[in-house]
Amino acid sequence: MDSSAARDRDAEGRARNARPRDGLGRPLPYGAEGVARQPEGVTRSPEETVREAQRLLAAGMPFHAHEVFEDAWKSGPAQEEPLWRGLAQLAVGLTHAARGNAKGARSLLERGTGSLARYGACPGARAHGLDLDGLAAWAHELAGRLPGPVDAVADAPRLTR
């Protein structure tokens, strides 16, 4: 049998892993009860994006929060791409840290703070109520504690002031 035929596919025929996932986005065995995935391609206002991502972070679901930020960078204005991409990278950094992947966490936390710094340096950059300096401080503090135990709920950042 062709190995591609056994792959999960969405309605359009694109490869899409249908295995259930846990709150940190790790695949679970088929048939296991997982956490509902975030719908993809949702267009939200910046305020709705921040509110939904904060809800997911507070629930210990940074992988899902990253998907919300990813929707914002793909559907928002091009000049805001570094903001939303940076926030997605921070959420994935927390995901890796909570999974015990210190190297991946450090890398993504660094990239995320770099993206936020580039965005903040742009003339006319709107932060949409986000605490960019506080998020950078959070990321540096978290990276400095690695390797070490990280709790996705207790160590989640507050996005706004």
Residue 9: per-residue pLDDT = 65
What band does 146 get if pLDDT is binned at 50, 70 and 90? very high
Q: Between 65 and 39, name the one with better pLDDT.
A: 65
Residue 25: per-residue pLDDT = 87
Write down the mean pLDDT value for the chain. Answer: 90
Q: What does the alpha-carbon distance between residue 135 and residue 120 come to, in Å, rounded to a whole number?
A: 12
What band does 15 get if pLDDT is binned at 50, 70 and 90? low
Kindly state the tokens that stand for 103. Answer: 């190297």
What band does 2 get if pLDDT is binned at 50, 70 and 90? very low
Residue with tokens 């960078």: 73
Per-domain boundaries in the chain? 46-144
Determine whether domain 46-144 maps to CATH 3.10.20.30: no
Q: Quick one: which of 61, 68, 49, 53 has its CA closest to 21?
A: 61
Residue 110: per-residue pLDDT = 98
Is 70 exceeded by the pLDDT of residue 147? yes
Residue 124: per-residue pLDDT = 86
Q: What does the alpha-carbon distance between residue 87 and residue 84 come to, in Å, rounded to a whole number?
A: 5
- pLDDT tens for 54-78 read 999 999 999 999 999 999 999 999 9
DSSP string, 27-83: B--TTS--BPPPPSS----HHHHHHHHHHHHHTT-HHHHHHHHHHHHHHS-GGGHHH
CB 136 within 8 A of CB 113: yes
- pLDDT tens for 77-117 read 999 999 999 999 999 999 999 999 999 999 999 999 999 99
- pLDDT tens for 118-129 read 999 988 888 999
Quick one: average pLDDT of 22-40? 87
